[in-house]
Amino acid sequence: MIKFTKQQLAQLESKNITTDTILKQIERFKIGFPVVKLDRPAVVSDGILKLHNSDHSRYQRLYEERLDHLQILKFVPASGAATRMFKFLHEFLKDFDPCEDSINSFINKNRAQELFTFFIAIEKFPFYDEVMASLRTTYNEWHAKADREKKILFVKQMLEIDGLNYGNMPKGLVPFHRYKDHNTTAFEEHLFEASIYASTNKQARLHFTIAEDFKDHFNAEFDRIEKIVESKTGTEFEIEFSHQKSSTDTIAVDYNNQPIVTETGDLFFSRLGMELY
């Protein structure tokens, strides 16, 4: 039987989530989700319409001819939290005991292939430089620390709220693509994309659904990149936001289907959404 603390009950109330809802979610994790029974595959002429090459050109031309007379809105649903994307790193911080294991032995014992790949390719990630700059600012003697400690601190600085907080940040705000001279977020990439096919009269409108907690973060990111993207694309941007309800959040559980609790004693949730970026 799962018992919730007063703090956790208050947290659930603030999200408008009942304990019964949480227990039902956990029960669903235990028994699994029903398999969808498919009738038949969709194929050309039965569920799929195949356009001929001449149709491609005709519809593209039709769209381009009418473009300046249309009101186009690029809709980007649900920049969900990066919780699941970094799940294996959260598990590493939770389960790794430096008194018992080396990082290599932990990886081997837990068959943690994702963690192995992460540390091998760490310098290739678009957020590497940002995390390293933050670490060097935080720790004056960073260069003198042992390799194992550096790896642990890197993950903590990357994920935790006292660092860059990527673990709770919407994926749309995490550095996403690495170019020769700069990095971009997925949020920024959507602006470039909109300028190509969703702009009229050198203006583009975009609507993002986001978690309300991060509206200021998205506004700050837009303020940072707006002039840069406008100068590169020759397009002006109008941005709108709507919010995902916290009552749709899903409880996060461990391998034993027990709720994950943060260091501050709160329940850990994963935001629902299509999480396209």
What are the structure tokens assigned to 252, written together?
Answer: 């996060």
Q: Cβ distance 203 to 235 under 8 Å?
A: yes
Q: Which of 67, 159, 174 is nearest to 126 (CA)?
A: 174
Arithmetic mean of pLDDT, 193-215: 91
H helix runs in the chain, sequence order: 6-15, 19-31, 53-66, 87-95, 103-110, 113-120, 128-138, 147-159, 186-197, 215-233
Give the dihedral of Cα atoms 253, 259, 260, 265; nearest 10 deg: 170
Condensed to tens digits (0 to 9), the pLDDT of residues 155-184 reads 999 999 899 999 888 889 999 999 988 999
Q: Cβ distance 211 to 243 under 8 Å?
A: yes
Written as one letter, the residue type at 15 is K
Arithmetic mean of pLDDT, 113-125: 95
Query: Which percentage of the chain shows pLDDT scores above 70?
Result: 95
- Is the pLDDT reported for residue 99 higher than 90? no
Looking only at the bridges linking them, the beta strands covering 250-251 and 269-270 are antiparallel
pLDDT confidence bin for 83, thresholds 50/70/90: low
Residue 9 half-sphere exposure, CB side, CA atoms within 13 Å?
Answer: 5
* Token pair 């673990």 in the structure block, residue: 167
Q: Cβ distance 26 to 2 under 8 Å?
A: yes
Written as one letter, the residue type at 96 is F
Condensed to tens digits (0 to 9), the pLDDT of residues 2-38 reads 899 999 999 999 999 999 999 999 999 999 988 899 9
Q: What is the pLDDT of residue 276?
A: 37
Arithmetic mean of pLDDT, 32-52: 93
pLDDT confidence bin for 127, thresholds 50/70/90: very high
Q: Which residues contact 225 (CB under 8 A, 6 or more apart)?
A: 187, 188, 191
Q: Which of 134, 125, 232 is nearest to 176 (CA)?
A: 125
pTM > 0.75: no
What are the structure tokens assigned to 150, written together?
Answer: 């550096």
Q: Which residues contact 56 (CB under 8 A, 6 or more apart)?
A: none
Arithmetic mean of pLDDT, 260-270: 90
Decide which of 10 and 213 is more confident.
10
- Is the pLDDT reported for residue 41 higher than 80? yes
Supply the mean pLDDT for the chain. 91
| Cα–Cα distance, 138 to 157 (Å, whole number) | 9
Q: Cβ distance 194 to 74 under 8 Å?
A: yes
Q: What is the pLDDT of residue 274?
A: 44
> Any bridge partners for residue 206, and if so which?
74, 239
Arithmetic mean of pLDDT, 95-123: 93
User: DSSP code of 122?
Assistant: G
- Is the pLDDT reported for residue 121 higher than 90? yes
pLDDT confidence bin for 79, thresholds 50/70/90: low
The most distant pair of C-alpha atoms in the chain lies apart, rounded to whole Å, by: 68
Condensed to tens digits (0 to 9), the pLDDT of residues 222-231 reads 999 999 999 9
